[in-house]
Structure 1
Amino acid sequence: MAPASPLPMDPIAEAKRQWVAHGWADTADAMAAFSSVMRAHQLMYGRVDAALKPLGLSYARLELLRLLSFTRDGALPMASASARLQVHPTSVTSLVHRLEKDALVRREAHPSDGRATLVVLTDAGRQVAEEATTVLNAEVFANPGIPAADLPVMTAILARFRRNSGDFTDPVEYPEPL
């Protein structure tokens, strides 16, 4: 969250200056980049949280609702939801439990795999996901505070970092069907 009033200086630039002064010039740029991304995350998450709070949602809850809404049947095995959201299965179970309490999702037995449980989007969940997306688009994504031309560059840089960190692999490109 942003401070009540802006600081009179950039604390990350000052930390970088101190890093160099203390003999760590070879890692100062990386420290400043990492610190900047972590602070940017705090600022971005604060904006998203403020937009979603009136709807009783966190970003994690909305991510699961949106993921389900993007599927053909509004349902996914819990393990698939965990993998796609890149969170531990325990976190998905906790999210599903809270969303169930609000009647936004329900659990069902998997029709062909007796070991799996499906998480299914309810009509109320679909409606809340649509409302929340409208709010986020209007209050956050339409004016992200980053010039529009910089967004694809920023996304590409971060995707490259994520890929190189083992977050994902590039998809296999299949030839066009005959």
Structure 2
Amino acid sequence: MTLELDPIAEARRHWAERWPVEPSRAMAAITSIMRCQQLLLARYDELLKPFRLTFPRYEALMLLSFTREGELPIGKMGERLQVHRSSVTNVVEKLVGDGLAARARHPTDGRATLVRITDQGRDVASAATEVLNADLFGLSALQAPDQEELVRILQDLRRDVGDFGDA
């Protein structure tokens, strides 16, 4: 659904009527980031629908495919995907149910469960990646230098809020 007017610009106008320019600019920036996230996730889910994947499931498959052995403990997956363990468990259950991943006992830690990508999971991840790459992950409206600048700007923001250190 295309809106007739930009609700963020309208909110910024109202904000600026009540507060100084600096907070209204920051409010418009953060609201724009959040709205872009919503729009891009909806786009990814639509592109991934033929593969019976959501973006979180796709991310989990790709994470597993990038590992040396194609497997990780659920807890490690949560750390690397930056989500709570219960969210990873839900994603893993769906991947296992669809035959894209399998659970296995950890060989040295009886408390841990390994998640292993299956051959079918690798095939689906590869095909889904081709679709997302062809779409440039929804960022085709931005030229390459603008994409790089966006990464740099968001990296600065992430560092400032403590997402990662300078090490």
Cα separation, partners in 2 of 1:93 and 1:143, compared to 1, 3 Å: closer
Please give the TM-score of this superposition, normalised by the length of structure 1. 0.88
Q: Cα offset for 1:16?
A: 1.2
Identity %: 48
Correspondence for 1:23? 19
Correspondence for 1:131? 127
Contact 1:47 1:140 in 2 (8 A): no
Correspondence for 2:137? 141
Unmatched tracts of structure 2, length 5 or more: none
Contact 1:77 1:119 in 2 (8 A): yes
Greater helix proportion? 2
Q: Which amino acid aligns with 1:98?
A: K
Aligned residues: 167
Unmatched tracts of structure 1, length 5 or more: 173-178
Q: Cα offset for 1:24?
A: 4.2
How big is the alpha-carbon RMSD for the aligned residues of Structure 1 and Structure 2? 1.5
What is the alpha-carbon distance in structure 1 between the residues aligned to residue 12 and residue 127 of structure 2?
A: 42
Q: 1:93 aligns with which of 89, 92, 95?
A: 89
Correspondence for 1:150? 146
Correspondence for 1:121? 117
Q: Cα offset for 1:142?
A: 7.7
Deviating 4+ runs (over 6 angstroms): none
Cα separation, partners in 2 of 1:116 and 1:154, compared to 1, 3 Å: same
| 1:39-93 deviation per Cα after TM superposition (whole angstroms, max 9, x unaligned) | 1112211221111011100000000000000000100111110100000000111
Mark the structure with the bigger radius of gyration.
Answer: 1
Correspondence for 1:51? 47
